[in-house]
């Protein structure tokens, strides 16, 4: 069920997210009811709701949805998108490797592994409530690190594209005139070209 939701989330029309703003999230100690809002903050609230009721698997699902959606918001705000777990993991690797703020770098390095495990835990619940509590805190940290990086404008899309191996870089989606397609698709259609050699390669709209 989670994998189906996640696939639908990342396949969602990017035009629907033109209003997206990456925001800070807060982990509440007590949540009375489930929220129907589809935002990272609401998913974190829902995770806390299920955790309070000892439903670790459902809490893990909400943790993953919260973190995944915040990452999607961050990427779209920087004019790129990524389908597939492998590509998203490499993007997090890039952010961790090249973050210039040591505190944010350490926070991201510490938070991401448990956030990523929440996807698995939602399916088979290998980890107990003690670890789910840690996942909750990690999701908050992960989301807020992305917020800080975004606010400081310290992320450069071209740097990421130059760093990624070609087989992944070509799978990254970018917008042209409001339409989003993979780089390799735009190149095939003659609407985009790669100019220069790595590490100074640039995307040129034709």
CA dist 33 and 68 (Å) reads: 22
Residue ranges of domains in the chain, CATH in brackets:
1-6+23-155 (1.20.120.330), 156-206 (no CATH)
What does the pLDDT average to over 15-37?
83
Q: Are 96 and 155 contacting, i.e. CB atoms less than 8 angstroms apart?
A: no
Supply the pTM of this predicted model: 0.89
pLDDT value at residue 83: 87
Express each pLDDT in 176-193 by its tens digit.
Answer: 999 999 999 999 999 999
pLDDT higher than threshold 90 for residue 9: no
- State how far Cα 105 lies from the chain centre: 16
What does the pLDDT average to over 71-78?
96
CA dist 62 and 66 (Å) reads: 6
CA dist 99 and 93 (Å) reads: 10
Which of 198, 195, 122, 206 has the alpha carbon at shortest distance from 160? 198
Identify the band that residue 19 occupies on the pLDDT scale cut at 50, 70 and 90.
low
């Amino acid at each position: 069920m989670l994998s189906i939701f996640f696939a639908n989330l990342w396949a969602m029309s990017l035009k629907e997210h033109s209003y997206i703003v990456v925001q800070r999230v807060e982990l509440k100690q007590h949540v009375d009811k489930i929220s129907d809002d589809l935002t990272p903050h609401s998913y974190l609230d829902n995770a806390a709701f299920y955790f309070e009721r000892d439903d670790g698997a459902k809490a893990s699902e909400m943790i993953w949805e919260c973190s995944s959606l915040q990452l999607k918001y961050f990427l779209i705000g920087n004019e790129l998108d990524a389908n597939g777990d492998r590509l998203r993991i490499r993007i997090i690797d890039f952010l961790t490797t090249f973050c210039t703020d040591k505190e944010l770098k350490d926070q991201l390095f510490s938070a991401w592994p448990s956030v990523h495990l929440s996807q698995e835990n939602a399916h088979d619940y290998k980890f107990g409530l003690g670890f789910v509590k840690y996942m909750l805190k990690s999701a908050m940290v992960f989301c807020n690190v992305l917020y800080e990086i975004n606010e400081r404008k310290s992320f450069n899309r071209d740097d990421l594209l130059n760093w990624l191996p070609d087989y992944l870089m070509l799978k990254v989606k970018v917008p042209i005139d409001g339409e989003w397609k993979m780089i390799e698709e735009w190149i095939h259609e003659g609407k985009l070209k790669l100019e220069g050699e790595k590490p100074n390669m640039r995307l040129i709209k034709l």
